[in-house]
Structure 1
Amino acid sequence: MWQYQVSVDNYNSGKSIKEFLIDNYLPKHLRGALRQHKGLVVNGQIVATSYVLKIDDCLTMRFNVDDFYAPDSYRPNYHQAIKVIYENNDLMVLDKPAGMKMHAHSPSEDDTLLNYAAAYLKQNQTLSAQAPAQPYMVHRLDRDTSGLVLIAKNPIVVPILNRQLSKKEIQRTYYAWVKGHMSATTGIINRPIGQHPTDDRLRWVDDDCGQTAQTGWRVVEQISDRSLLKLVLSTGRMHQIRVHLASVGHPIIGDSLYGGLKASRLMLQAGQLDFIQPFSGKNLSIKLKNNQLFWE
């Protein structure tokens, strides 16, 4: 059983439990599960969704394991430590190294970020929602991209964070060294991206059949034959930043797939994540420090 407790503050006071759950993006099937097995408890008493929350109420949501879709299971791998940049009871933000896959594609595979995250949580006997924490992927980075990635620790907050992602309330900020100097200091690349017609590994700009994709950029620094860009995604297509920058003649340095100058690694890093803490409304902004950024 998963049990999630909320201490009601000014942000949620005055709302019915139904309003509270909807406002916080808890999916309909989970709201229904709470009603059906009487899983809503305030100050030790079972209540209905019509109950109006008051300051300092203790709301407990009790979920059964089968209220959730079967999660992916990641075999713990203790052979490599992960870099935890931020952590609370619900989630953690990790610094993924370049060259590491996000998750396994087969039960026997264990050299991925989520395998190492599973080991970290188990080794520390971490609890989340009063049960052993497990790593749940919210979004992903390409294998060759480094930087910040958000990992949930219980299944309750996963759909909430997914909804934030779909509503563009999670903002991902990247940094990249690219070939050449940009023609302006800021801009937006707004071109659809689709699967490459001859190579399944690649994506390309496809004005006829591609999916909408938008990347905003700003020049941070320019030296010799290259520029450092700060990039913000409005969409999350596979290889989006790499394809967009290559399409305007400024491929990322180290990007062997899309024509970048040769380098020891892909010079693309997720440097900042902004999102809302589930059930609290608190805005969180997690950044890599200067001495953790790949160009320092």
Structure 2
Amino acid sequence: MIINITEAWDNMTIEAMLQSLHIPKKPMHELRMSKAITINDEPATLRSTIHTGDSLFLPIPEEKSAYKSSYRLCEVKYEDEHLAILVKPKGVKTHPNDMSESNTLLNHAIYTLDSEYVEPVHRLDQETVGLLLVAKNPFIKKILDRMLEDRQITRTYRAKVKSHLPLKTQTIDLPIGKDKFHPNKRRVSQTGDRAVTHIVSSNALGDGIAEVELTLETGRTHQIRVHLAAIGYPVLGDPLYSDSNLRQLSLESYKLEFIHPITQEKIAATLD
């Protein structure tokens, strides 16, 4: 993998740069033992100093994802050699439950993207439409996973609910666990995992419907759907958490924002 060194890493050692990216111990050790690191095509070690404009080569083991190609294209909102932002259609699963499946977004991504490694950094419910971030090599996957954990990737969602008035700006901090009576459902449970959703804005659309904009601090299964139902405003068309008999979930992942870990540029993609 080639990294063009930006001002953020000027005059740092390679090791310090990688530590700033929170690279785990195992890949860091593998790089420390490697004889193939170069700076501007000259041999280097993790103790070598890098400067703005340098071309750093890190020998990253090649890995392939096990997803079958669907031979179908998916919509790509952003792509570079490290990562991509895809659009997941409604009714399409993020990834297969077993590798014999071939009609999920990851199957389409393997066919579409210029990479044999494509892995999701987060997931979307099958009935949720919207933006999904994927990594194109295992090194970047580790970095993006840590960024998501440290809340350095902002995921903004839009949902429609039954309400004549806009919902109040608020933080919903309610733990979510499995519903022991329904294997596909989750519920607010004091023994569940901490789950935090922020309602950042809302507006009334008329006809007794309000649109809500939300961001996630955590990423539990069905988090937005469970949380909105818990405060009395289930997502319209949700067959699991409302009285809807239709699978027309009015929920979309419409914006992703983060600082690119390698280029240090701001990446902002929207569904519209």
Letter in 2 for 1:100: V
Deviation at 1:282, TM superposition (A): 2.2
Matches within 5 A, 1:49-198: 49-65=46-62, 72-78=65-71, 80-121=72-113, 126=114, 132-181=115-164, 184-198=167-181
Letter in 2 for 1:237: R
* Aligned-partner Cα distance in 2 for 1:102–1:73: 14
Superposition TM-score, scaled by structure 2 size: 0.94
Letter in 1 for 2:88: K
Further displaced range: 263-272 or 153-162? 263-272
Deviation at 1:183, TM superposition (A): 6.8
Alignment of 1:212 with 2:194, yes or no, is yes
Aligned to 2:40: 43
* Aligned-partner Cα distance in 2 for 1:5–1:108: 34
Secondary structure, in 3 states, of the residue corresponding to 2:2? strand
Deviations 1:83-110 (A, max 9, x none): 1111111111111011101111222210
Deviation at 1:215, TM superposition (A): 0.9
Q: Are the aligned partners of 1:91 and 1:152 in contact in 2 as well (CA < 8 Å)? A: yes
Letter in 2 for 1:267: S
* Aligned-partner Cα distance in 2 for 1:85–1:231: 21
Alignment of 1:33 with 2:30, yes or no, is yes
Instruction: Choose which of 258, 261, 267 in structure 2 pairs with 1:275.
Output: 258
Letter in 1 for 2:13: S
Q: Are the aligned partners of 2:165 and 2:203 in contact in 1 as well (CA < 8 Å)? A: no
Further displaced range: 221-230 or 16-25? 221-230
Deviation at 1:262, TM superposition (A): 5.1
- Number of positions where the alignment pairs a residue of Structure 1 with one of Structure 2: 271
Instruction: Choose which of 240, 255, 264 in structure 1 pairs with 2:223.
Output: 240
Q: Are the aligned partners of 1:39 and 1:63 in contact in 2 as well (CA < 8 Å)? A: no
Deviation at 1:37, TM superposition (A): 2.2
Letter in 1 for 2:185: L
Q: Are the aligned partners of 1:179 and 1:261 in contact in 2 as well (CA < 8 Å)? A: no
Superposition TM-score, scaled by structure 1 size: 0.87
Deviation at 1:180, TM superposition (A): 1.9
* Aligned-partner Cα distance in 1 for 2:116–2:265: 22
**Could you list the runs of 5+ residues in structure 1 that have no partner in the other structure?**
127-131, 290-296
Deviation at 1:182, TM superposition (A): 5.2
Deviations 1:183-204 (A, max 9, x none): 7531111111111121111001
* Aligned-partner Cα distance in 2 for 1:133–1:72: 6
**Could you list the runs of 5+ residues in structure 2 that have no partner in the other structure?**
none
* Aligned-partner Cα distance in 2 for 1:14–1:190: 42
- Percent same amino acid among aligned pairs? 34
Aligned-residue Cα RMSD (Å) equals 1.7
Aligned to 1:11: 8
Deviations 1:127-178 (A, max 9, x none): xxxxx44211111000010000001112220000000011111110000001
Matches within 5 A, 1:282-293: 282-289=265-272
Aligned to 1:129: none
In structure 2, the CA distance between the partners of 1:260 and 1:95, relative to structure 1 (3 Å rule), is farther
Deviation at 1:241, TM superposition (A): 0.3
* Aligned-partner Cα distance in 2 for 1:116–1:183: 38
Deviation at 1:280, TM superposition (A): 2.8
